[in-house]
């Protein structure tokens, strides 16, 4: 066994990435505190050709050295925008026919393994603040919530880990 060289990985250039067909998935970050989490989510979004990231509220925006440290250039490939109010983003997406789901622990959740991705509908996933989660105001507007099953004592995943799991699962289900 040997590691593949950079040439063997066939990485897309930034220009080629922008021309590539995107996964019909929008990631909404609702008041994320950690710039490392933001950068990590950009990098994961690049890996799975996510359509767009919407940064809301206190979520920092590129360019910022702490975001760049984990994004490794993905802020130059993944389309992103900033909006001050997550509620306005959700309303706007729903008006465009996008199905919007919070990634949150709620009494009316859909377990991730039971979540059905419809290939003919655009989808948005909202990830909330590291301490407070998705805001209550936003939860009243979404089409539902998705929860990742957890079996340990914490019942809490780092947001960048949760985003990686959800983005991969949506990508995988759309690719079947």
The secondary structure of residue 153, as a DSSP letter, is S
Average pLDDT, the chain: 96
Q: Write down the pTM of the prediction.
A: 0.96
115-140 residue pLDDT tens: 999 888 899 999 999 999 999 999 99
- Token readout for 106 is 């709620």
Q: Locate 42 and state its tokens.
A: 């950009």
CA dihedral 41, 44, 48, 54 (to 10 degrees): 10
pLDDT of residue 155: 87
Q: What are the pLDDT digits (tens) for 63-109?
A: 999 999 999 999 999 999 999 999 999 999 999 999 999 999 999 99
Tokens of 83: 């909006």
User: Which residue ranges form the domains of the chain, and what is each CATH number?
Assistant: 12-175 (3.40.1280.10)
CA distance linking residue 92 with residue 53, whole number of Å: 14
Q: How confident is the model at residue 168 (pLDDT cuts 50, 70, 90)?
A: very high
């Amino acid at each position: 066994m040997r590691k593949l060289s950079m040439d063997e990985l066939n990485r897309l250039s930034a220009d080629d990435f922008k021309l590539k067909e995107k996964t019909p998935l929008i990631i909404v970050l609702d008041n994320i505190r950690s710039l490392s989490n933001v950068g990590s989510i950009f990098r994961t979004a690049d890996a799975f050709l996510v359509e767009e990231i919407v940064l809301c509220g206190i979520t920092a925006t590129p360019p910022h050295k702490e975001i760049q440290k984990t994004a490794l250039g993905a802020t130059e490939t993944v389309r992103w925008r900033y909006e001050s109010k997550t509620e306005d983003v959700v309303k706007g997406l729903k008006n465009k026919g996008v199905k919007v789901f919070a990634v949150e622990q709620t009494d009316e959740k859909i377990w991730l393994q039971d979540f059905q991705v419809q290939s003919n509908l655009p989808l948005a996933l909202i990830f909330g603040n590291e301490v407070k989660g998705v805001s209550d105001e936003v939860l009243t507007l979404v089409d539902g919530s998705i929860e990742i099953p957890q079996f340990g004592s914490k019942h809490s995943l780092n947001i960048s880990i949760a985003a990686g799991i959800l983005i991969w699962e949506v990508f995988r289900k759309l690719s079947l």
